A and B are shown apart, each in its own frame.
Chain A
Amino acid sequence: SQQGEEDPQALSIQEGENATMNCSYKTSINNLQWYRQNSGRGLVHLILIRSNEREKHSGRLRVTLDTSKKSSSLLITASRAADTASYFCATEDSGGSNYKLTFGKGTLLTVNP
């Protein structure tokens, strides 16, 4: 069963605009990760945030985590055409096996030049 659910399913913006994607999950987690997938390629890790953290930054990426609302958001600032990809959140359940991540279905981001 899917743990994380991304919202929206698809997002289309103009170059230079900011893009915000959200992830909601059902059960308590230890960590949450965000990944990017370009068409025809494997997933690439972007950022990991632990359950005791509220915000992390990496370059143009900003991730927030609200464990009380069981949600996370990924903000990409000053988007570029090269940011066009699918974005997935993945969670490690705090009560389950510590070997596994559970992935959401993803948000397809299109950045128009």
Chain B
Amino acid sequence: DAGITQSPRHKVTETGTPVTLRCHQTENHRYMYWYRQDPGHGLRLIHYSYGVKDTDKGEVSDGYSVSRSKTEDFLLTLESATSSQTSVYFCAISALGGGNQPQHFGDGTRLSIL
């Protein structure tokens, strides 16, 4: 299995609080991705990174920010969490971008915002 660790695995927090999710990889892959998974919507891309300090928006980026200060870590921040951001968040990595190689996924963070 690819070395991807997401933390925390579960989190419950209140509306309006800041939340940071961490994705850590040991594969030295260039590309990292944050997705959210919701019933009826499947997997949707939030933000992705194509190198240290190189990030871009995905399909559902509003309300989220990311940072990548080193190859192995990709952080997802909800500046002021809302109930609509209750979801399961997945981090993925790949050596090459797009569909050229498989993406490898972490086991997700289940986030509940009350």
B99 engages A88 (CB within 8 Å): no
Nearest chain B CB to A48 CB, angstrom units: 6
Contacts of A69-113 to chain B: CB distance below 8 A: 88, 90-92, 97-106
Interface residue tally of chain A, by bracket? Answer: 20 to 34
Bound: A97/B43 CA distance, A: 18
Contacts of A1-50 to chain B: CB distance below 8 A: 1-2, 29-33, 40-45, 48
Q: Which of A31, A97, A105, A106 contacts B100 (CB 8 A)?
A: A31
Bound: A58/B108 CA distance, A: 27
Chain B residues lying within 8 Å of A102, measured Cβ to Cβ, are 45, 59
Residue B73 CB within 8 A of the other chain: no
A92 engages B43 (CB within 8 Å): no
What are the interface flags for B75-114 relative to A under an 8 Å C-beta threshold, 1 for contact and 0 otherwise? 0000000000000001010000111111111111000000
Asked if A45 meets B98 with Cβ closer than 8 Å, knowing A100-B48, A104-B42, A105-B42, the reply is: no
A101 engages B103 (CB within 8 Å): yes
Chain B residues lying within 8 Å of A105, measured Cβ to Cβ, are 40-42
User: Could you tell me which B residues sit within 8 Å of A by CB distance?
Assistant: 4, 31, 33, 35, 40-45, 48, 50, 56, 58-59, 90, 92, 97-108
A-B pairs with beta carbons under 8 Å apart, 30 shown: A1-B59, A29-B99, A31-B100, A33-B99, A40-B107, A41-B108, A42-B92, A42-B106, A43-B43, A45-B102, A45-B104, A48-B99, A48-B102, A88-B42, A90-B103, A91-B99, A92-B99, A97-B98, A99-B97, A100-B33, A100-B58, A101-B45, A102-B45, A102-B59, A103-B35, A103-B42, A103-B43, A105-B40, A105-B41, A105-B42
List 12 other contacts, CB 8 Å, given A41-B107, A100-B58, A102-B59: A1-B59, A29-B99, A42-B4, A42-B108, A48-B102, A90-B103, A98-B100, A99-B50, A100-B33, A101-B103, A103-B44, A105-B42
